[in-house]
Every structure is written in structure tokens, then in C-alpha cells.
Structure 1
Amino acid sequence: MNVLIVDDDQTNLIIMAAVVRRVDDAEPITYSNPLEAARWLDANEPDLILLDQMMPDMDGLALLQRIRQNKRLDTVPVVIVTADTSAETRIRALDEGCSDFLTKPIIIPEVQARLRNLLALRQSRALLRDRAALLAEEVQRVTAALQRQGEELVLRLSCAAEYRDPETGAHLERMSRYSRLIAEAAGYDADFCNDLLKAAPMHDIGKIGIPDLILLKPGRLSEAELPIMRQHAVIGHRILADSDVPLLRMAAEIALSHHEKFDGSGYPNRLSGAAIPVTGRIVAVADVFDALTSTRPYKRSWSLEAARAYIEQNRGTHFDPVFVDAFLSRWDKVCEIHHAHLDDHLTDLHPMDF
């Protein structure tokens, strides 16, 4: 352990260095010039500092004050070595962050005992600091593992839903990427945008609870069938809600709210405006745009321009204007995502009523 000794008297430096060497595992570093010692401290961190009080250019208390202003050194014990035994000097030194005092002329056994105690305390604090760092690292590791498990669970549930849903995996890929793109363009942070990318594919997980006669019907649903189909939002929320995994909680929110409309005419709760969760408002734009540009059992796909026009026309009614504008501001990237993740089957690009 390194012990910095600062004293303008060379004899005192030699004596204190010899005393330090008698302490197990301690190595002295000496400076007779306090300004040079201060510069050394700017780049180094000793385990203990011994400062003479009466020195030219910068006295011990001034150097102590400079040491305590350096956050890197704020836990290093500092001992003032002084012949001044006045209460005023000691109180001022304690106020500045002094750890202990040694009175001149020094008593070598006393100095050795104090050095051992202070270095042992320094070592204990270092061990606690390292242990705290290890615990923080372990917490980070466990948190990351839970995050990966949550992401895997979301992926597996999304795959399970695909087996019952006529929508393709490419749809999930595109709409989740559109969702992240919108969030990025709207200024949300990277963590939120990436979580949205992973949670958005769960938006229609509730369709696993819809009867096949309705879910797989190759045509438009009847007035009696529509309310049953719309229950998928509530079913999806029930499947995902109340999880300890943040990603699943976001997915539950999306499942319940992505069919709400900005003007309050959506379902299942007829929410409007800011009452609709941000995630639901973002995914609504992404999901409808991709649904329009995809072939379904009941419709042909629209062209990208026709789908864009639909989104613009429904700005402020179906969709939040903020997220429509964000979506359209990245139009080149939207087209890139669409073409990079095409469905396995060919699509007819003639627009039809959605």
C-alpha cells in the first residue's frame, strides 16, 4: 500500500519513510515540495497521505483542501503532522477532512500503530467497495438474464400465435420495425424503442382465443362475428398482464390498446387521445399500414402510396398526429423495411377497400 509523505524538511522525510517501511506491506512516496506533490496527486491515488502542516508555497491545510476537492481522493485518509497543538488548528483540519493528527516530535511506536490502523481501515473500505462492485455486476448480470428470458418468452408466444393467425411472420417483422422507427422519429430513447420492437409482435396474441371459424374465415366478418373477433384485444391483455417481466407488461399494454382510435371510436374501451397508451398509439399506425399493404384472406394488398394516403387521411381521427408525422418523416426507411421483409407469397398491388 502506498503512503504519500509531504514535508519540506528532508530529515523528517527520511525518518517518516523509514517508519512507513516498518509497517507491513507499506511503501513510502516522498515529496519535499507540496506543489509537486499536488501535481502527482492529480494522476495518482495513494492509500494514505501524511502532510506536514508548516510548508512554504502551500501549507498542509491548503493541500488537504485541494485533496478533498478531488472526488477520486475523497476517501483517502489524510494525517496532518504538526507541532501546532492548538484547538483552532485541529478543528479547522477536521473541517477540511483530516483523518488524524501526529504531533511533533513524533513517537515512532505511536506513528506505526496509527499507520497500521489507518491502512487496515483503507484496505477494509477497498474490500467493501470491490464487494459492492461485484454485487452490482451480479445484479446487472441477473437483470440481463431475466431480460433475455423475457425476450425469449415473447418470441415463443409470438411464434405460437403465428400457428393460428393467418397473418405471416413477415407481418410481425415489418410492423415491429415500423413501430421502432416511429418511436425513434418521435424522439424516444433507445431502450424504449428496442423494447417496443420486441413487444410489438405480441399485439395480436389474443387471437389464439378466437374460434377458427371466425379467425380463418376467408371473407369479411358478419356483424355478429365482429364483436367476437374484437375480444382478441382483451384476451391478449389477460394472457400477458401482471407479469414481473417489463417486456411482457409492455406487450400486454399494446395488446389491449392498439385498436383504440385517437377520436375515441376504437375498441375495446373507446379510449381517446392521450388516454391511449403511447405504445398503443404507435403500434396502431404500424399495424394498420402493414395490414393495408399485406394480402389477407379477405383482401388484396394496397400499394405503399395508397396505404400512405390512408394513414394521412386518418391523421387525428384514427391515428395520433404526432406518430403519423413521425412515420411519414422516415418514409424512405419505411419503404426499405417493406421491401426487405416481403411475404413468402406474391402480392397484388392494386388497392381495394380496407
Structure 2
Amino acid sequence: MDGPKRILAIDDERINLRVIGGLLRNLGHEPVLTESFTEARQHLDATIDLVLLDVMMPETDGFTVAKKIREIPEVADVPIIMVTALTSKQDRLKAVEAGANDFISKPIDLTELRVRMGSLLKMKESQDEVKRYQAELEEMVAVRTSALKMALENVKESQRTILSAHLETIHRLASAAEFKDEETADHIQRMSRYCALLAAKLGLPDAEVDLVLQASPMHDIGKIGIPDSILLKPAKLTPEEWVVMQKHTIFGGRILGDSNFELLRVGEIIALSHHEKWDGSGYPKGLSGEAIPLYGRICAVADVFDALTSKRPYKEAFSNEKSLEIMRAGRGSHFDPRVLDVFLNDFDSVEKIQREFEM
């Protein structure tokens, strides 16, 4: 644990408070000593790391005080240790129901106090770190999303006059989510052309093939809202980091959503659905089969192939043979069988695109 912690003690007996204060100082912590909940309430804020709470108090007993603490939003999750002479199962269950995390018996033993406080203070540190991380992430996403929304509003305005400039701006925005990693600089070029090839081979009209070509580069635009520490991590993500990474689909949908421009609407569909899987095990909605938009199913095949055959911070590039072996194993689970078959049956055209936009 880093540095001394602020420990709030509530006990109506001054001699008990003096003993507790001495023990806490001996352990290197800063005691905040109070004789009632009324007095303690003035000190209960986010700087308090743990509460030591006596059960037997004449004004308001410890069970009631614990419940009141849990009702205060800014300290609702602060660890509470009940200091009690009560030993019955019923009393301990009552304390847990009131919100206590642990118990320590009177008279207080220094070693027991250190051990019981230690685990709860580590838990509090972890909770505080998660809160700080979430706050920073939300602020960053809000700022970046706001900036991108403003940029896209300007793009929508320009569509009435200069379509080519509009498309170029969208491609530059898509590149903003990719430029951090030099190894993926050509990813959106290859991936968009793989998508267009699949769309054409699947029999989509020329206008839709062009839409897929122009919209697919926006599939990962939501990654601009993902912290670099996660996006560029040269190792396997933790479960918590993976939850954050998966949100790039939702961020992309929000950035591209609510547009009257067809290209952006298709981009939104692709951003939200390119990580869905045929068997329903994908994200963010767990769609399955033909409930997944066709554009997303097309993008899934193209995106995975390019990811497998490209170097990433966490892996080296796989050969085409190894990549196709992996993808065949995902036929009917990860990928729409029909779309994957079209991809495999015209792999010469895929390799031609691959060579044209080599890294």
C-alpha cells in the first residue's frame, strides 16, 4: 500500500478512541477519531480509506451507523470493520446485512488489526484506481467523440457541394484510429478492397459495392476512444482491458450514428457489426446468423484475414496458409459460411490486393 491511510474511528468511549488512535499511528496510518455518527459525518468523504466502527453506542448503534454510511454516495463503498464484543452468529449476520466488511473483537490486537485492515485497504486502493481510470476514460471519450462529431458535422455540410472532398475527409478520420501503429498503416486500404471484392462476388449492385468500399475503412474508427495503453499493449489484454477494447464498436456507432448521409449510415452498421460472429458469440450485441447485417459479415472475413496476416504489437504476421487454416476452422462459427466460401474460392484476387498494398 502506498503511504499512510486515513482511518475513521467511531466510538463513544474516549479511552477506546485513544487506544485505537495509538494502534493506527503505530501502523503508520492517520487516525480520524470521532465519538458519534453526527461528528463522523463531517469527516466522511472520499479521503477516508476505512472505517472502524464500534457496535455498542448509546446514541446510534453501529448497525444503524453502517447503514447510514452505505447511503452516502461518495463513501458508499468504503470498507467498514465492526469493532465488537458480540460473537453470536445472529449479531454477525446483522452486521453484514448492515454493510460491514469484517469484524474485529475487543480488546483489539495490533497484529489482527493490521491483517484485517490490510486486505480491505488493498481492495479500496483497487476500487479507487478503477474509479480514476473510468473517470479519465469517460472524459477522454467524451472529448474525442465531441471533436469527431463536430468534424463529421462539417463533413455532412460539405456533401452538398464536394463529394470527393467529403470522402477524403472520412478516410482521414478512419486513418486516425490506425496511424498510431505503423505496422497497420495500409490495413484500411487492403481491408476495404477485400470487402469490395466480396460484395461484388456476392452479387451486390455496383452502388452497394462502392458503398462498402468507401464505408468499410470506418470499421475501427471507434478505436480513437480506446487508451493507447490498451490499443498498443504488446501482450494479451486482461479481462478488464478486453471489456474496454470491445467498446470501440459502440464508440464507432456513436460517432457515425444519426446521419442523413447513406455512406455514414453504412459505416455505422459496419462499425457496430464487424465483430459479431455467425454463432452468436461475438460483440457488442451477440447477434447470430443472418441477424448480423451482411455488410458486417463481409467485413468480419476481410478484417480477420488482414489482422492474421499483419504484424501487430502483440503478434507477428501469420502466413496466408496458416491464416486460411484458422479461418476455415471458423466457418459456421465465426464466419458466415457463404461469405467465407466466396473469399476462399477467389483467393487469387485477394492475394493480388494483398501484394498491391504490401506493408
Tell me the TM-score normalized by structure 1. Answer: 0.55
CA 264–166 in structure 1, closer or farther in 2 if over 3 Å, else same: farther
Larger radius of gyration: 1
Residues 68-107 of structure 1, C-alpha deviation per residue, up to 9 Å, x if partnerless? xxxxxxxxxxxxxxxxxxxxxxxxxxxxxxxxxxxxxxxx
Give the match for residue 216 of structure 2. 200
1:187 positional shift: 0.8
Q: Distance in 2 between matches of 1:288 and 1:260?
A: 12
1:150 and 1:245 in contact (8 A); partners too: no
1:252 positional shift: 0.8
Q: Distance in 1 between matches of 2:247 and 2:181?
A: 15
Structure 1 residues not aligned, in runs of 5+:
1-141, 344-354
Q: Distance in 2 between matches of 1:143 and 1:298?
A: 39
Equivalent position SS for 1:317:
coil
Is 1:225 aligned to residue 236 of structure 2?
no
* Counterpart selection for 1:257 from 273, 277, 292: 273
Give the match for residue 230 of structure 2. 214
Counting only pairs closer than 5 Å after superposition, residues 9-158 of structure 1 correspond to structure 2 as: 145=161, 147-158=163-174
CA 167–154 in structure 1, closer or farther in 2 if over 3 Å, else same: farther
Residues 140-169 of structure 1, C-alpha deviation per residue, up to 9 Å, x if partnerless? xx9884643441231121132233456522
Q: Distance in 2 between matches of 1:244 and 1:324?
A: 32
CA 164–219 in structure 1, closer or farther in 2 if over 3 Å, else same: same
Q: Distance in 2 between matches of 1:195 and 1:144?
A: 17
Is 1:268 aligned to residue 284 of structure 2?
yes
Q: Distance in 2 between matches of 1:301 and 1:206?
A: 24
Give the match for residue 330 of structure 2. 314
RMSD over aligned CA atoms reads 1.7
Q: Distance in 2 between matches of 1:158 and 1:143?
A: 17
Residues 50-76 of structure 1, C-alpha deviation per residue, up to 9 Å, x if partnerless? xxxxxxxxxxxxxxxxxxxxxxxxxxx
- Percent of aligned pairs with the same residue? 50
Structure 2 residues not aligned, in runs of 5+:
1-157
Give the match for residue 189 of structure 2. 173
Give the match for residue 314 of structure 2. 298
1:309 positional shift: 1.6
Q: Distance in 1 between matches of 2:247 and 2:314?
A: 19
Equivalent position SS for 1:162:
coil
Residues 218-247 of structure 1, C-alpha deviation per residue, up to 9 Å, x if partnerless? 111111110000000000100001112111
Give the match for residue 44 of structure 1. none
1:316 positional shift: 0.8
Q: What amino acid is the match of 1:148?
A: S
* Counterpart selection for 2:204 from 173, 185, 188: 188
Residues 7-63 of structure 1, C-alpha deviation per residue, up to 9 Å, x if partnerless? xxxxxxxxxxxxxxxxxxxxxxxxxxxxxxxxxxxxxxxxxxxxxxxxxxxxxxxxx
1:171 positional shift: 1.0
Give the match for residue 5 of structure 1. none
Q: What amino acid is the match of 2:322?
A: A
CA 322–214 in structure 1, closer or farther in 2 if over 3 Å, else same: same
Q: Distance in 2 between matches of 1:269 and 1:301?
A: 29
2:184 and 2:310 in contact (8 A); partners too: no
Equivalent position SS for 2:186:
helix
Equivalent position SS for 1:300:
coil
1:203 and 1:254 in contact (8 A); partners too: yes
1:263 positional shift: 0.3
Q: Distance in 2 between matches of 1:254 and 1:147?
A: 21
Q: What amino acid is the match of 2:258?
A: D
1:200 and 1:251 in contact (8 A); partners too: yes
CA 265–196 in structure 1, closer or farther in 2 if over 3 Å, else same: same
1:267 positional shift: 0.3
Is 1:162 aligned to residue 178 of structure 2?
yes
Q: What amino acid is the match of 1:316?
A: G
Q: Distance in 2 between matches of 1:160 and 1:232?
A: 13
* Counterpart selection for 1:237 from 253, 263, 267: 253
Q: Distance in 1 between matches of 2:328 and 2:299?
A: 16
Q: What amino acid is the match of 2:274?
A: H
